Amino acid sequence: MKEFFEPHVIVSLAIIVGTLSMVAITLIIVLRDKISGVHVSRAGVEIRTNDMSAWSKVVDNIERIDSSTCKSIRKATSGLAILDLEKHEMSADVMLVILKANQPLICAAYENHHTRELLNNGGDAYIADKTRDIIEVVRYSRTLFSELTNKKAEAFACLWLKKILLPNLRRACVEKVTYYTAKIALSGMSKSVKEMLIFCRDKNERYIKCIDKLAARMDIDEKIACFYQSETR
């Protein structure tokens, strides 16, 4: 009966299979802390690492922080009032104006890119954008409340930024930095995942510096001073 393979071919195949087996074993030893499973089929050996699972857990936790931050911003924004409640009676018109002025800011609470915008332009363009939104929604209430000027709208945007947005964003960034730092310290993380974690940590540290710089601006404090005049009277 004729043989399918010559002896030297069989030896070569054995060497190749042996070499591949050694490579696979070496990979398993090197990646033993990162392997989630090994799948053997006719196509070969598939080594599955836990990178995807590890990063998925990171994303889930960051989304939890972001979601909690959005809720905190929304709740705090609902308590703001563009009109002086000590000066005006709590009428339907007053409540409507307050709700209108808060509306674009409440919507902004769910914009998950505050920090990127603040970092890019130092806050000025962001404040101007929110100011325009407020001016637009209270425009038709100026006949009833003459104090609803463009200057008052800008001051209200600054008040929201200073008292609500920045503190909540800073708290979220600090929490993320702490979380990323703890994950980076784990020995089971692969190099690629650690590099992503370091990038995200450093990015949030830059956000914190930007937030602190913006929160310390004297011109913003001067603009929102009108909301505290009633407290000093």
111: in domain: yes
Q: Average pLDDT for residues 214-231, to the nearest whole number?
A: 87
Q: Which domain holds residue 102?
A: 52-232
17 occurs within a structural domain: yes
pTM given for the model: 0.76
Mean pLDDT of the 116-137 span: 87
Residues 135 and 227 in one domain: yes
Same domain, 170 and 104: yes
Q: Are 181 and 201 in contact (CB under 8 A)?
A: yes
**Residue with the larger pLDDT of the pair 198 and 30:** 198
User: Per the domain annotation, does 131 fall within a domain?
Assistant: yes
Q: How confident is the model at residue 77 (pLDDT cuts 50, 70, 90)?
A: very high
First to last CA, the chain: 111
Q: How far is CA 206 from CA 1, 65, 90, 171, 200, in A?
A: 76, 18, 43, 14, 10
Angstrom CA distances, 66 to 19, 100, 149, 225, stand at 49, 25, 33, 30
Give the pLDDT score at 189. Answer: 75
What does the alpha-carbon distance between residue 25 and residue 18 come to, in Å, rounded to a whole number? Answer: 10
Residue type, 83: L
- Structural domains of the chain, count: 2
Rounded Cα–Cα distance for residues 130 and 136 (Å): 10
